[in-house]
Amino acid sequence: MKIRLALLATLIFSIASSAPSLAAGERFALVIGNAKYPDADAPLKEPINDARDVADELKRDGFIVDVGENLTGDGMRRAFDKLYGKIKPGSVALIFFSGYGIQSNRQSYMIPVDAQIWAEPDVRRDGFSLETVLGDINSRGAGVKIALVDASRRNPFERRFRSFSAGLAPVIAPNGTLVMYSAALSSVISDNGSDHSLFVRELLKEIRTPDLMAEEILNRTRVGVTRASRQEQVPWISSSLAEDFSFSPGGAPRPSNALPAPPPAEVAVTPPAPPPPPPAPPVKTATAPTPPPPAPPKPAEITLPPPPPPAPTIVQPAPTTPPSPSALALADDPTIKGLNDKLDKDPDDAAALYRRGQVFASKGAYDLAIKDFTNSLRVNPKDVEAYNNRCWVRTVVGDLQAALRDCNEALRLRPNFVDALDSRGLMNLKSGQNKNAIADFDAALKINPRLTSSLYGRGLAKKRNGSIAEGDLDIANAKAMDPNIVKEFSEYGVQ
């Protein structure tokens, strides 16, 4: 029932200090491409190819490069620790990450392929904060830090959050840091269907241009991406570099008022370290990753409960939600304003319609959210996320017959879709179909035993069905995991 976060492929890029004593610093790079997330419908096409191409270019530029593909949380932690261990005062440290990213608590997180994200605290538990990584690199003596983040994708985790915070957040980074995201703050972009991202393609083209400094390369990359995407994708840059830095080992820094930039040292290029094997796979789905990680086993099929009885058995309660804010009242919201601009140019932009529907739903503008999800489905009739989110919103406002159709369609398109089971369970609970609600919540909890909303909903349904002790136990366990769950359900009109 949760509205997805719209979020992420992230890259980080660190480079050595601007002081004269750093002139002899070595250049180290960690390049990560994460493509095979079991929670996604299909592997991402771009990250692996992009990571390999970036690694090859950095080797030519004098970096000692480690490459990681489809890294788990343990794999990413070991890769970062290995990088930290190499850095000495004067070193250049670069991290490139392409995959999914999520904004949480005003920080941007890089997500490993085995992340189990069902609530926002899971992001901070399983993800890797960009700010933390930059801080760790800085504390080990790297003077110039550059973070390039290509993680502004619509990701498979965002549907699990009832709050909405799309894209990536601004970075509070140490001095001597250059940060670039592949898209604007708090915005997401659709995959272009290519084997390489537009962002990396433009970045590599500019890096290969002789006699350009790093800031100029990134600014030219931003211009190239903006033009090629017809302003649909505008990268974001933030810099606190004290002087010029050149990616090219032979690039001569240009004069500036700051101290002269140190020439990069000649270093030996080492082959990339193989990524470590992943831990046990997530329970929901599994797709066989390309080497080096072995393929996780496919989970057992879970039999879906039969759909609830047809329309005549459902009693429509009176709407219990407060009046929705109007489109005019929300027009000044920066995220909505940006999406409005996109939709003015292309009213059939399904991704923008979907994202605006999420924002409207998170702000209680349910009628507007339903309209946007409906228009998104008109353009893309197989968008299971839009069906599930419309089911959830319709359930909240009490349009239960329509909600049931949406949830059933989502489950037809994606059997065992845990969020649609959770949403349909709520719909059954509101309509008084307690046995069907228990069946839906049971199925959802078999897939994810930590899904608090299904656990709490099942407890309510069990109590209504006469199993008081079992229901009280579910409710107590759900409240222990999420103390706000009672208030949340009361806002849905369920107590």
The predicted pLDDT at position 375 comes to: 95
Q: How many domains does the chain have?
A: 2
CATH code where residue 419 lies? 1.25.40.10
Which residues 6+ apart lie within 8 Å of 53 measured at CB?
196, 200, 204
Residues 217 and 88 in one domain: yes
Residue 279 covered by a domain = no
Residue 262 covered by a domain = no
**To which residue do tokens 């946007």 refer?**
372
Residues 28 and 172 in one domain: yes
Residues 423 and 338 in one domain: yes
In this prediction, the residues of the chain whose per-residue pLDDT falls under 70 are 1-25, 158-166, 191-193, 249-324
The predicted pLDDT at position 25 comes to: 66
| Strand, coil or helix: 237 | strand
DSSP conformation letters of 250-298:
TPPPPP-SSPPPPPPPP-PPPPPPPPPPP-SPPSS----PPSSSPPPPP
The predicted pLDDT at position 192 comes to: 65
Q: What angle do CA 156, 201, 32 make, to 5 degrees?
A: 50
The predicted pLDDT at position 452 comes to: 82
Residue 107 covered by a domain = yes
What is the pTM assigned to this prediction? 0.55
Residue 180 covered by a domain = yes
Residues 208 and 75 in one domain: yes
Residues 41 and 174 in one domain: yes
Residue 9 covered by a domain = no
Residues 470 and 361 in one domain: yes
Structure-token pair, residue 286: 């599994």
The domain in which residue 452 lies consists of 315-491
Last residue in a domain, options 208, 239, 270? 239
**To which residue do tokens 């009672």 refer?**
486
Residue 223 covered by a domain = yes
The predicted pLDDT at position 289 comes to: 43
Instruction: Supply the DSSP symbol for 479.
Output: H
Residue 76 covered by a domain = yes
Q: How far apart (Å, rounded) are the C-alpha atoms in residues 100 and 115?
A: 11
Residues 216 and 344 in one domain: no
Residues 235 and 319 in one domain: no
Residue 418 covered by a domain = yes
The predicted pLDDT at position 197 comes to: 93
CATH code where residue 101 lies? 3.40.50.1460
Last residue in a domain, options 239, 264, 295? 239
Residues 342 and 486 in one domain: yes
Q: How far apart (Å, rounded) are the C-alpha atoms in residues 438 and 443?
A: 9
Q: 100 to each of 133, 157, 317, 367, 420, how far by Cα in Å?
A: 16, 9, 40, 30, 22
Decide: 232 and 338 in contact? Cβ < 8 Å. no
Residues 56 and 158 in one domain: yes
Last residue in a domain, options 214, 239, 264? 239
Residues 330 and 201 in one domain: no
Residues 207 and 352 in one domain: no
Query: CB-based burial of residue 84 (10 Å sphere; 0-12 exposed, 13-18 middle, 19+ buried)?
Result: middle
pLDDT in tens, 10-40: 333 333 333 333 334 688 999 999 999 887 7
